[in-house]
Structure 1
């Protein structure tokens, strides 16, 4: 038994009052002797005994009544917690797109919110966490209103992050009991199920929302497979999870206009490429859509855009090299070359990439211009001359990087290693080639320059590396690229390497971007200092993080936008470009933690079959059985007994 107001028991001293009154009334009788009243003596003795019994009964009822009243005002109760302790429920409700599917009773997220509303207690406080927001210190009514309007989110739920967020919230309240609740389908996006959720020591109650089917067809990605003067071939990767599926309709739209329609079949747990051809165009707002009733419907539509291609501005300073002009074609690049003596320094800030092609010296004027160019976001490719001035180059490197050139070595070495994970080679190789025809070099410059190796010699030294610096991308070949020094210019590897260095110098808009991931877009547009670019569609508009350079604007998006579809990049009222966003393909995964796996992940996890079962247990543990009515009844009964004794007990 516990008491809400135990301080009331200080008034137990009041029980002395009826005791003192009783003692005061217990007067002793005097013995008076008479000769002929023996019969009266016997009556007097009996009366004294009855009177004393009556007084003891009255004292007992009064003490019992007062004691019962004290217990009544102290408000006794039975409960597993103290009554002044509030129960605060931290509820993480996964509202990712994978919950936007139907279970046996309807949409899984909507059913979960309804069960939370029906089973949560009026007496508790709540903190609601979703994939996007945290709502703190809610009453039951506020909790209900938020649950009714929880939207689906394109942001992936990170279970470990949510656990740590809940842990960090529990340090501001006193006299509070906590219940940590996770409600999710517990989808995982990698094959590593062995996450231990370190630094999480509190007990967590988990409710797993189960899927009723295990079949899904999704549009995984798209790419431009061929780009000719007249048409563009677009390939879409369709992914199937589950059994074989036949005759699935697929349609291609330009905005809302149907361009092409066909059907396809796909094997069990397989992927398939579907190709469409579209006319060469400057602005294609593409949408591909499959019609199939499966577990997820959000991944049956895929958005992409094709804009008029922006040309990368490239200036080569130094010797003329035929291979550069052959790779940097006029279709994709605005390429020009100049000797060192004829450089127009005013044009350097307008470039995206500058190639130092076999310069023997780098004059200080050019060095300063190039460093400023790097600081403003430009990129640099350095191809050394076999007779370069090491001191001049090292002076230049010290302006922006760590390390230096040491010496030239006339060793014949083969180029044998490719860093396939470097961004230069993204989507270049279908597999990691190990048996290609190795090019070789006659001599090379050893150095201590810091940075990632892109192509390496057989002795593990870098042939091409990206030099680390705080400004931009700087590429360094450790060997000249003339025909007398190396046959690398005749290798198939030179084309994707040099071409992608040029392409990466201006981050032209991709056919599509993924929501809630960090995306970088560069617009080849010179804007004034007080001007800003906006991204918008019919539903939302926002100003992205942006950096202005002399000849371009670099945009970065992550938290916004939140909805898939087409968006315009605009300067005031002028639309510059159309881009497309899609939900992450990871949301289409049908890989989920099982109940047994969840309990093995962390010993503090307890899994419940339903939200109702969980909250029934919570409410039972928090139930308070008040006893003050019982003690009030005892006090009333004691008073009635006293009245009856006084009225009917004759002495």
Structure 2
């Protein structure tokens, strides 16, 4: 039993006063002389005893009366929580794309929202976290209005972020009873997010009724020639074998071709379409099939004949560079120090300073401007380099310095496989690699460089230094055949080819929503000009950085819908992009929460939103007892009246 006003119970100590009065109030008897009272002695003794019993009864009823009144005013109650504590419920509602599927009662997200509205209490306050928004300290009516407007989002919220928000919310709320409820389908993308320090919560799992899903995973182009190209759609099947699945390809909204295909259980299949060449192709692939998810049955991509990347090599005339930077993808120019066209430097995307002995001051200044405007620079020292000239240039770029030359034969033995230069180059780490070597080198001293290729003594052969706008790739050794056999190694082609490809990020076939994408747009902007991205339904201004001959835009949380988007310069369309929903949402792999519950006592599992909220209300239900004490006080008063009226000693 608990009390709302426990301080009133201190007045119970005052009940000692009537007890003391009763004990010390000695009744004085008056002697009345009679001629003969011997026969009255026995009757007098009996009357005195009866009078004492009556007084004790009256005292008891009065003590009970006052005690009951004091208890009634202290407002006693029975409950599992303190009545002075506020009730707050944190709700995480997963509105990711995977919850836009049918369960036993209907659409998972809609039914979950409706059951929350029906079973929450008007007395409590709530905080609602969805994948896209957070609402703090809201009433039930506000919660209802928000839930009725909640739609599925391509954004995926990490559970660690949810737990951090829960901890922050609970920390800021004093004298509050907190309940944490997570409502999700708990796809395996959440795996390994529960730890021993995870705050206590109740997990309500939303389960789709269907157990099969066919979706378009990705698209790539092959067999390009002067007449046509082939669109390859990678289709995946999760579940049982299916026959005659219709798939169509559109150029924007114009139907180009249609076919059907069978697919076996849990198979990945490539469906091909041959398309006639055209300058721009806004492709849309569409599966016509009813399965668990519908959002992944449409796939958008945009194909455009991209501009070639401008690459300038300054210094020695090297045949290997012209073989790597072919005319199909690059505009490659090789120039000696004496014949440099300085006006063309800022028009390049990549410049290779190829084993020059000395860097002239005018070239340093132009390369500095080139780097500041987002250009990528490759520096290969000469065997007889003027070390002071190089270090003066590197100092201006804030790219470290070269140590004095060392003559030492070293093998190149280590590769940073995680570096972007080697993305998709190796299917696995090479163990039987034929190590190239160098005969002399200039050790690199830089505190902010990342190692790409490393010597056997763990010093760097090739490093990357990031500047505020561009990248600098710095070799520690000349790579000509007199000083090294690196030109004969398998690394030479992917390293230099990716120098070029990474120097300008042409628009890809497609991008994914709600993740970071960096895109270079070849255009020039005025001082107050900006680029925007829009389609027929929405428009937004992305993060963008302007350089001499390009603008780098970054998309992150936007756009949220799949489809085609135009990049606008004022009102002119200068590029077109295709966005698709994250493919991870198409998975039908869900967590077994019982495994996590066994390892973490903070987790409670349920399949019913209604039962969880009923249990919370039951735990916090208050049974007031003051009425019973008031009734007891009235009974005590009636008893006293009856004793006084009918009990005659």
TM-score (norm 1): 0.87
1: distance between equivalents of 2:169 and 2:213?
38
| 1:589 shift after superposition | 1.8
**2:291 matches 1:258:** no
- Give yes or no for contact 2:438–2:485 (8 Å, CA) kept in 1: no
Distance 1:131 1:573, change over 3 A: same
Q: In the alignment, what sits opposite 2:138?
A: 138
2: distance between equivalents of 1:602 and 1:298?
35
Deviations 1:111-136 (A, max 9, x none): 22222223323333222222222211
More off after superposition, 46-55 vs 178-187: 46-55
2: distance between equivalents of 1:630 and 1:189?
55
Q: In the alignment, what sits opposite 2:540?
A: 542
Q: In the alignment, what sits opposite 1:76?
A: 76
More off after superposition, 546-555 vs 26-35: 26-35
Distance 1:91 1:237, change over 3 A: same
Residue 211 of structure 1, aligned match among 208, 213, 227: 208
Q: In the alignment, what sits opposite 2:560?
A: 562
1: distance between equivalents of 2:61 and 2:321?
111
Distance 1:462 1:18, change over 3 A: closer
Q: In the alignment, what sits opposite 1:526?
A: 524
- Give yes or no for contact 1:406–1:448 (8 Å, CA) kept in 2: no
**Alpha-carbon RMSD:** 3.6
Kindly report which structure 2 residues correspond to 1:26-425, keeping only aligned pairs within 5 A, or say none. Answer: 28-35=28-35, 57-189=57-189, 193-194=191-192, 197=195, 199-200=197-198, 202-399=199-396, 400-404=398-402, 406-407=404-405, 420-425=417-422
| 1:19 shift after superposition | 7.0
| 1:591 shift after superposition | 2.0
Distance 1:38 1:418, change over 3 A: closer
Q: In the alignment, what sits opposite 1:448?
A: 444
Distance 1:490 1:20, change over 3 A: closer
1: distance between equivalents of 2:59 and 2:454?
104
Residue 513 of structure 1, aligned match among 493, 498, 511: 511
2: distance between equivalents of 1:458 and 1:58?
103
| 1:108 shift after superposition | 1.6
Distance 1:446 1:480, change over 3 A: closer
Deviations 1:222-276 (A, max 9, x none): 1222332333322221122222222211111122111111112222222112222
Q: In the alignment, what sits opposite 2:629?
A: 631
Deviations 1:406-428 (A, max 9, x none): 437596x9878765543234445
1: distance between equivalents of 2:454 and 2:34?
137
2: distance between equivalents of 1:325 and 1:405?
31
Deviations 1:440-492 (A, max 9, x none): 67856353365555567788876655345554222345666667777876887
| 1:32 shift after superposition | 1.8
| 1:148 shift after superposition | 2.5
Distance 1:45 1:453, change over 3 A: closer
1: distance between equivalents of 2:243 and 2:627?
71
| 1:165 shift after superposition | 2.1
| 1:290 shift after superposition | 0.9
Distance 1:26 1:533, change over 3 A: same
| 1:558 shift after superposition | 0.9
Distance 1:164 1:126, change over 3 A: same
- Give yes or no for contact 1:441–1:479 (8 Å, CA) kept in 2: no
1: distance between equivalents of 2:480 and 2:175?
78
Q: In the alignment, what sits opposite 2:499?
A: 501
More off after superposition, 33-42 vs 64-73: 33-42
Distance 1:41 1:510, change over 3 A: same
Q: Tell me the SS of whatever aligns to 1:171.
A: helix
More off after superposition, 439-448 vs 14-23: 14-23
Distance 1:415 1:640, change over 3 A: closer
Deviations 1:569-611 (A, max 9, x none): 1121111111111111111122221132221453422222322
| 1:525 shift after superposition | 0.8
More off after superposition, 325-334 vs 438-447: 438-447
Q: Tell me the SS of whatever aligns to 1:165.
A: helix
- Give yes or no for contact 2:202–2:603 (8 Å, CA) kept in 1: yes
More off after superposition, 254-263 vs 599-608: 599-608
Distance 1:62 1:306, change over 3 A: same
Deviations 1:484-539 (A, max 9, x none): 77787688765554343222211111111111211101111110121111112233
Distance 1:291 1:418, change over 3 A: farther
1: distance between equivalents of 2:65 and 2:429?
91
Q: Tell me the SS of whatever aligns to 2:574.
A: strand
More off after superposition, 510-519 vs 277-286: 277-286
